[in-house]
Amino acid sequence: MPENINYEIGVEHGMEDIVVDLMNSLSTIKELSELNYQLSVNDEKLLLDKALSTLIQNQDMERCSFFLLNEDEQVLVNVTGLSYFEVLEDLNESFQSRQFKVGEGIIGLAAEKKTLQHCHNCREDERFINNGAEMDGAMPGSIISVPVFAANLELIGVLNISHPEPYYFTEWHIRLLEIYKNMLGQLISNYRLFHQMERQIASRTTKLERAYKDIKRLKEHYENISVLDQLTGLYNRRYFYNQIKMTMAGYERYGQAMCLLIMDIDHFKSINDNYGHIFGDQVLIDIANLLKTQVRHADVLVRFGGEEFVIIFTNTSCANGIMFAERIRKEVNQLFWQKKDDSIRVTMSIGLYCHDNDCCQSMPRANIDQIIHYADMALYAAKKRGRNQVVKFSKELIEE
């Protein structure tokens, strides 16, 4: 075969034909370059179908097919095949998946030798293996098989064009096929790379989501077993319930008095609303620090939740409990925060329950839940009576 483009073999070409062929080739190149491997297809076979139908529509190739290399088994599997007639009629009837071993037939040889194989006359060429083509009426007269490589020069598969007439293809077709196979190689490489990246992203996302769930579960676990309030560093409600059981046991056993204070910052919502949550947090931290200075080692101080704190004064008479509560209320009144031109102060309402034989002989004997409930009732009364005050629980409150 001469090196120059040879129009002598097969078809006679006039100048007009050459221009038409050139235009067709440019159209094919344009369409191939426009195939969107990212969005339009999510299956490699579909991408190859589109590429082949582009080839066939713009070129005088009667039939195109693509054989993908299955590297593990060293076979070439026919994933798609189209004839000009099928593209025109929008059919894909005659496609029957065949396969060749690497080295077997024209297609297998193209893969093995990694070079284009041109069979001018299939009936006479020993390299051509019929493999059932004659039976289904697809027996070609001539065929060109061209290996297609990925960007990393690994073999992807073999592109074939065939025509019922022998000696049909010319140097022109060969040159075009060299261009098309490069474009096809790029297209498939990009497609694989893109989808590999997608899979990697999806797998990483799944791993991250799993890690996030694990962290969340661990966080919840540690929060569940933690007895400390994260914001203020005080003990939390869980610790309180453990401690009050022990305090009550001491009271039962040794007749020790104790006082329970439930303290609630007045109108705390407006602090958040007017100055923001971060400032609200700071107020909670500062009040918690102040409360720390008001308790002894044996007492129990907890953040009960939100803007509510609880103290158990152990071994403390009712009179002392009221005195301590008053002192706390006044100390809180002394606190202030400067925010631009605003000097911000807060007040605190305190409900008190005394567990003291001397002063509360006439009180019903209360369990833990009742004690908290009584202190809460006293707090509610303090709020109702105008806030910024201490109210001790008494039987009268139940009647109120």
Ligand X SMILES: Nc1nc2c(ncn2[C@@H]2O[C@H](COP(=O)(O)OP(=O)(O)OP(=O)(O)O)[C@@H](O)[C@H]2O)c(=O)[nH]1
The residue within the footprint of ligand X, chosen from 21, 60, 266, 299 (CB under 6 A), is 266
Site string for ligand X, 56-95 (x = CB under 6 A): ----------------------------------------
Shortest Cβ distance from residue 272 to ligand X (Å)?
5
Is residue 390 near ligand X by the rule CB under 6 A?
no
Note if 93 is an active site residue.
no
Closest CB 232 distance from ligand X, rounded Å = 9
Based on CB atoms, which residue is closest to ligand X, 265 or 377? 265
| Number of residues binding to ligand X, judged by CB under 6 A | 16
Which is catalytic among the residues 307, 326, 396, 400? 307
Neighbours of 337 (CB within 10 A): 15
CB nearer to ligand X: pick between 219 and 395: 219
Quick check: 389 binds ligand X (CB under 6 A)?
A: no
Nearer of residues 60 and 266 to ligand X, judged by Cβ? 266
Shortest separation between residue 324's beta carbon and ligand X, angstroms: 21
Question: CA quadruple 113, 118, 123, 124: dihedral positive or negative?
Answer: negative
Place of tokens 């209320």: 329
Minimum gap (Å) between residue 388 Cβ and ligand X: 10
Considering only 204, 210, 216, 267, the residue that binds ligand X (CB under 6 A) is 267
CA 214 – CA 309 distance, rounded (Å): 32
Site for ligand X contains 264 (CB under 6 A): yes
Q: Does 272 bind ligand X (CB under 6 A)?
A: yes
- Considering the rule CB under 6 A, would residue 309 count as an interface residue with ligand X? no
Q: How far is the CB of 248 from ligand X (least distance, A)?
A: 27
Give the residue, chosen from 149, 172, 180, 268, that forms a contact with ligand X under the rule CB under 6 A. Answer: 268
- Which of 265, 328, 346, 360 is close enough to bind ligand X by CB under 6 A? 265
Nearest distance in Å: CB 261, ligand X: 15
Nearer to ligand X, 62 or 266 (CB): 266
Catalytic residue IDs: 307
Please give the residue ranges that form the binding site for ligand X (CB under 6 A): 231, 264-269, 272, 277, 280-281, 284, 306-307, 383, 387
